Amino acid sequence: MRRWNGWGEETVDFPLPNPAGAFLQDLLGPGVQVRDASLEEAVSRVPSSRLPGHPLVSTSPVERLRHSAGQSFPDWVALRSGTVPAYPDGVAYPLTGEDVREILDYAGSTGAQVIPYGGGTSVVGHLSVPSGDQPVLTVDMGRMNGLVHMDGKDGLATFQAGVRGPDLEAALMAVGFTLGHYPQSFEFSTLGGWVATRSSGQFSMGYGRIERLFVGGTMETPAGGMELPCFPASAAGPDLREFVLGSEGRFGIITHATVRVTPLPEEESVHAAFFPGEDQGIAAVRELAQASLPLVMVRLSLARETVTNLALAGESRAINLLKRWLAFRGVGEGMCMLLYGAAGSRKKVRWVLRRALEVVKQHRGVAVGSRPGWEWYKHRFRIPYLRNTLWEAGYAVDTLETATTWNRLPETVEAVEGALRNGLGERGEKVHAFTHLSHVYPHGSSIYTTYLFRVAPDHGETLRRWRVLKGAASEAIVRRGGTISHQHGVGVDHLSYLETEKGPLGMEMIRSLCRTLDPGGMMNPGKLLR
Ligand SMILES: Cc1cc2nc3c(=O)[nH]c(=O)nc-3n(C[C@H](O)[C@H](O)[C@H](O)COP(=O)(O)OP(=O)(O)OC[C@H]3O[C@@H](n4cnc5c(N)ncnc54)[C@H](O)[C@@H]3O)c2cc1C
């Protein structure tokens, strides 16, 4: 069973290694444990549903509670405290595209607002329920999870849009293919959710972000159904797929998606190297991106993240030996860890890694082989479980991200980390912030920052601390010309920064699309547009 107020399966834990607890205490002070609401308490607060009965719609209070939030920080605090601002009045579970049409018609006739729900992993408030007089219907796509059509010759696969990462990959693996899309939320997030949020996966450097993988599909909108044919390329005016990508449930419900798939690689390999400092590391990943080497991933942990990762890994003999070996090679304080990966035939993987190593060495990087890469690979979908552990130890953790050009990168990292680190100074609280670059492009890179701070004795104050930090970091991003999101999307948390990026005319274009596809304004209100 999935946790109702945290990340992941109830049976899975990610305990903190011993030295990591002491490391956090030194940085932030002792953790502050608070009492969280029980499931029974939280369910008892769910009001009666305002929706009339329908065979595809559940009005069970537990289902409605479980669909009342995603995984953003405000969502997390709402569920932990058991005080959710608003609940859907019902949760619909369609099995087919026709069911989705019927549900939209039902919502129209009952005056309900509709929230499409994929895996519920949004971290920016895409799923938050509007309060008001209108009933709200969440449409959980989780039962629309089948492979509809696979064409190995064309390299195209069509799925129902509610398919989750592991089921999608299992269906493709059975016929010798992969999509190669691995967001860290892979365990629960869905194909429809990836398209609707313009998601990016850990191997997107090789396989492409979801916008490169999404070839066509079907979207049911309040104004009617919309088919997006799968052309290899087309010059027939604007590409309508672009209006579906990043639509955040605002224009309709994606029922089917066709994606470009690749034969399973013979080998996947992730290697590691350490640089003496950030300048050398950044110069190396820029060169790797600009050399167009067919790597599937490049992930550079900047200095603070490298120290944190090594501390969280515990003081094992292997890590102590590694540190001594690196010190001997002139890599000590200020070092940065790089992971770089390749996939394909054995011959190709060996060639790509060899070429990448040449670049690493030119920038004074010291290669340490595949063991750290393998450790990361093994745990890559387990790391989010640390959020549960940290909360229970009295520490809050959140992440934020942007992308910017190489020229602006160092000052943007400094500004974001600085805004976070100093953000709670007036409250006498410390913040630990650290960054990696995980998606590199010829002209720039994503910046992904994690920050930790102490939970306050009451949930309301914890949320206020987060608001101060999120606001300061978002301002820092926008002021330096970064995008408000490289991969998480807009939701409600980034909404007030969107116009700076799109401009008034751009916002009006989005609004007019909304008016065309959803004239009654019933789809996911408050997301993308006010
Ligand atoms: C631990 C963790 C790690 C993460 N790592 C990554 C990462 O590596 N890369 C990344 O890009 N993101 C990441 N995310 C963010 C999140 O997983 C992505 O935004 C993901 O694409 C959301 O998919 P979902 O199926 O869970 O959608 P949901 O969260 O359910 O919904 C997100 C939005 O999409 C809309 N939507 C969902 N399905 C449909 C549909 N069928 N039709 C129309 N609209 C729909 C919803 O209305 C909502 O607006 C992470 C989140 C967590 C919690």
Residue 469, Cβ density class (10 Å: 0-12 exposed, 13-18 middle, ≥19 buried): buried
Report pLDDT digits (tens) over 66-77. 999 999 999 999
Q: What is the CB < 6 Å shell around ligand 1?
A: 7, 70-71, 115-123, 126-127, 141, 161, 183-185, 189-190, 192-194, 196-197, 199-200, 248-249, 253-254, 384, 487-489, 524, 527
Coil, strand or helix: which one is 27?
helix
Residue 312, token pair as written in the block: 């969280």
Paired with 216 in beta bridges are 258
Residues 146-173 have a mean pLDDT of 98
User: Closest ligand 1 atom to the C-alpha of 191?
Assistant: 25
Can you tell me which residue has the tokens 């909360």? 391
User: Closest ligand 1 atom to the C-alpha of 489?
Assistant: 19
Element at 472 (helix H, strand E): helix 459-479
Examine the pLDDT at 527 and tell me if it is beyond 80.
yes
Going by pLDDT thresholds of 50, 70 and 90, the confidence category of residue 314 is confident
Which of 13-27, 240-254, 297-311 comes out lowest in average pLDDT? 13-27
Q: State which of 79, 138, 164, 185 you would mutate to test the pocket of ligand 1, scoring each by most atoms of that ligand within 8 A of its C-beta.
A: 185
Tell which residue, 281, 278, 273, has the closest CA to residue 322: 273
Examine the pLDDT at 315 and tell me if it is beyond 70.
no
User: Closest ligand 1 atom to the C-alpha of 527?
Assistant: 49
Q: State which of 121, 168, 202 you would mutate to test the pocket of ligand 1, scoring each by most atoms of that ligand within 8 A of its C-beta.
A: 121
| Dihedral over alpha carbons 278, 279, 282, 285 (to 10 degrees) | -110
Pair 205, 212: CB distance under 8 Å: no
Can you tell me which residue has the tokens 């608070």? 34
Report pLDDT digits (tens) over 4-54. 999 999 999 998 887 888 899 999 999 999 999 999 999 999 999 999 999
Can you tell me which residue has the tokens 């798939």? 261
| Rounded distance between C-alpha atoms, residue 506 and residue 484, angstroms | 15
Separation of 507 CA from ligand 1 center, angstroms?
22
**Domains along the chain with CATH numbers:** 45-264+494-530 (3.30.465.10), 267-380 (3.30.70.3450)
Separation of 61 CA from ligand 1 center, angstroms?
23
Pair 16, 390: CB distance under 8 Å: yes
Examine the pLDDT at 499 and tell me if it is beyond 90.
yes
| Rounded distance between C-alpha atoms, residue 123 and residue 460, angstroms | 19
Pair 95, 141: CB distance under 8 Å: no
Residue 8, token pair as written in the block: 């992941």
Residue 439, Cβ density class (10 Å: 0-12 exposed, 13-18 middle, ≥19 buried): buried
DSSP 8: S
Question: Amino acid identity, residue 118?
Answer: G
Which of 18-22, 452-456, 511-515 comes out lowest in average pLDDT? 18-22
Report pLDDT digits (tens) over 346-357. 999 999 999 999
Q: What is the CA radius of gyration of the chain?
A: 23
**pLDDT of 320:** 86
Instruction: Give the chain's length.
Output: 530
**pLDDT of 339:** 98
Coil, strand or helix: which one is 454?
strand
Across the chain, mean pLDDT equals 96
Half-sphere exposure of 107 (CA within 13 A, CB side): 35
User: Closest ligand 1 atom to the C-alpha of 71?
Assistant: 53
User: Closest ligand 1 atom to the C-alpha of 190?
Assistant: 25
**pLDDT of 6:** 98
Report pLDDT digits (tens) over 340-380. 999 999 999 999 999 999 999 999 999 999 999 998 999 99
Separation of 119 CA from ligand 1 center, angstroms?
7
Element at 42 (helix H, strand E): helix 39-44
**pLDDT of 279:** 97
Pair 370, 271: CB distance under 8 Å: yes
Which residues, 6 or more positions from 321, have their beta carbon under 8 angstroms from its beta carbon? none
**pLDDT of 481:** 96
Can you tell me which residue has the tokens 């797929």? 241
Triad 302, 304, 310: Cα angle to 5°: 100
Report pLDDT digits (tens) over 378-390. 999 999 999 999 9
Give the Å distances, CA to CA, from 104 to 256, 297, 343, 433, 523: 16, 40, 42, 43, 9
Residues 205-221 have a mean pLDDT of 98
**pLDDT of 144:** 98
Pair 79, 41: CB distance under 8 Å: no
